[in-house]
Amino acid sequence: MSERFNERIAIVTGGVSGIGAAITERLLREGAKVVAVDINETAVAGVSDAFGAGAVGVVADVTDEAQFSAVIDRAVDEFGTLDALFNVAGGSKAGSLLDISYEDWDFTVKLNLYSAFLGTRLAARRFIAEQKPGAIVNVASLNSLVPMHFGVGYTASKAGAAMLGRQAALELTEHGIRVNTVSPGLVATPLTAGLREIPGVDEAYLERIPAGRPAEPSEIAAAALFLASDDASYISGDNLVVDGAWATTGYPDLRRFLG
């Protein structure tokens, strides 16, 4: 394993499970120190045991500006600086355009878009204050490009997160701050397990994915770390789709399973 992130300091939101945990683990293997953020107190309490001494766990709601700001401060207090931010925290409440409640829409948009906005702005301000370069990677979704039934809040907020990355790149690249997005397709995580266990759903997904399988979280982590590394020094404003060619075929109609 390379040491592309040797002695660099990174924050990973949603950093203790799924894609976030894979990013945390790989950053540590490549020499970084990591602040892994999650709202789940039990999961955060086990960060040192799960990842080792190079990781610090922080409990925070990253849709709250004051709490996210405190995370940035904790990283600097603990390790002296900040070099990279991975906005991974996300999720959704399912619903269609005509039926989703305001509360479920608000929850989904805040978790997927507000958190990315807050993290991007706060990290960028820190980089500029320290007069140093930095890298920000937002984890969006194939749904930033492709709609799906029962996903109006998720698709809209993930598309917003991807465009936020492009807007931020326009504004921040001149400061030496690169902002990019990774958009995964189906990934084998605890977050997707419940949906995939519904009879017929997994088969409906896999028949649309030319690769014939979901991604492993480590495969998304590899793409995210590439975009944050010096290997991608001239890449900013990109939305890298990591989907096993799924975008070429489109989503299955899940109404036959969930309607």
Tens digits of residue pLDDT in 190-241 = 888 888 888 999 999 999 999 999 999 999 999 999 999 999 999 999 999 9
CB 13 within 8 A of CB 89: yes
Q: Supply the pLDDT for residue 1.
A: 58
Give the active site residues. Answer: 154
Assess whether pLDDT exceeds 80 at residue 119.
yes
Distance CA 151, CA 95 (A): 6
Q: Supply the pLDDT for residue 197.
A: 87
Distance CA 2, CA 109 (A): 36
Query: Which two three-digit tokens encode residue 40?
Result: 């789940």
What residue ranges do the domains of the chain occupy?
9-258
Nearest Cα neighbor of 38 from 79, 7, 75, 71 is 71
Q: Which CATH class is domain 9-258?
A: alpha beta
CB 183 within 8 A of CB 161: no
Assess whether pLDDT exceeds 90 at residue 89.
yes
* Mean model confidence pLDDT for the chain: 95
Q: What percent of the chain has pLDDT over 70?
A: 99
Query: Which two three-digit tokens encode residue 30?
Result: 């490549």
